[in-house]
Amino acid sequence: MSAVSEAGADVTTALVTGANGFVGRALIDGLRRCGWDVRAAVRNPAAAEVLAPGIPVAVVGDVDGDTDWGDALRDVDVVFHLAARVHVMDERAVDPLAEFRRVNTEGTMRLGRAAATRGVRRLIYLSTIKVNGERTSAAPFRAADPACPEDPYAVSKWEAEQGLRALASETDLEVTVVRPPLVYGPGVKGNLLRLLAIVDRETWLPLASVRNARSLIGLRNLVDVLIQCATNPMAANQTLLVSDGEDLSTPELVRRLARVLGRRPRLIAVPSLLLRLVARLFGQSAAFERLTGSLQIDANETRSRLAWAPPQTVDQGLAETAEWFRATKAD
């Protein structure tokens, strides 16, 4: 069942944190199409400028252990907590883990406790598949697998998940944790945007020999399942892994992107051992692992529990992303 096609009849008002972000803006659009009342939480007034006109805004300042959520949570039924400190490419913090904890762990728990006190029914927490780990080998990740976060970002998200579960066990607040893989769609940034630009230029990539498999989720699919998590009783107090359901190798992703961009896929075969050596010499081992390693998700339990299926295929999602990319270039 597509959540976006169903009106949220039992939900009056939703608060979306991180509302000005890639996922936040799309989620607000999806909620409004369902007829929900939506309030956007942003850190400063300038962040609200990217939102559609007419959306009520709550300026909450920095998200940490001291944030005042009082006005933002007034008469709210469901909270979608998307705000987070994410990957920092040029990390300058003396203690990165402490900085990630300040926002992602302490800030999340501050919001959770305030939501419980204010009588919020459910909090949907957007976590990350990195809580499970950075790579898979023998089998895809499942929600029941032991957590294995490796970097400060994933550690802080895992700690927040544990704190929210404890809070749910002590209060009437229902918590749903959603762990997505790489999200793509109109407005995407980071590695996928860079890959789009490379494929669009028809630059040669030495990735034809890569034999990996990675789960993805399109923005439209993620929004759909997040709304489903807010309305479906079976989502209460669950940890849910989500994906499009079709895993792609890196060279196959390049071919699909080339197809939707109307470009030729420029792939040449270079032995993985040589690629790994070159990446190590240039200090890019982590980037190499992201490009060539596998990270697969078993989302069957989520689909079964929620009676949910992604409304959009991978090819449809990539085509929508390519259309946005071309329009952005034209501007």
Confidence of residue 88 (pLDDT cuts 50, 70, 90): low
Specify the number of domains making up the chain. Answer: 1
Average pLDDT rounded to a whole number, residues 70-97: 85
Question: pLDDT band at residue 281, thresholds of 50, 70 and 90?
Answer: confident
Q: For the whole model, what pTM was predicted?
A: 0.91
Structural domain includes residue 57: yes
**pLDDT tens profile 307-330:** 999 999 999 999 999 999 999 876
Rounded average pLDDT over 20-26: 93
Q: Residue 249: inside a domain, yes or no? A: no
Please report whether residue 220 resides in a domain. yes
pLDDT digits (tens, 9 = 90+) for 249-267: 999 999 999 999 999 999 9
- The whole-number pLDDT of residue 2 equals 46
CATH number of the domain at 168, please: 3.40.50.720
Distance CA 215, CA 243 (A): 6
Mean pLDDT for 199-220 is: 93
| Residue 83 belongs to a domain | yes
* Long-range pairs of 24-29 with CB within 8 A, sequence gap ≥ 24: 24/82, 24/83, 25/50, 25/51, 25/52, 25/187, 26/185, 26/186, 26/187, 26/219, 26/220, 26/222, 26/223, 27/80, 27/82, 27/223, 27/226, 27/227, 28/52, 28/55, 29/223
Residue 263 domain flag: no
153, part of any domain = yes
Contacts of 322 (CB under 8 A, 6+ apart): 196, 257, 260, 261
pLDDT single digits (tens) 159-188 = 999 999 999 999 999 999 999 999 999 999
pLDDT in tens, 28-55: 999 999 989 999 999 998 888 888 888 9
Residue-number span of the structural domain to which 114 is assigned: 3-184+216-244+295-311
Residue 290 lies in a domain: no
Q: Catalogue the active-site residues.
A: 153
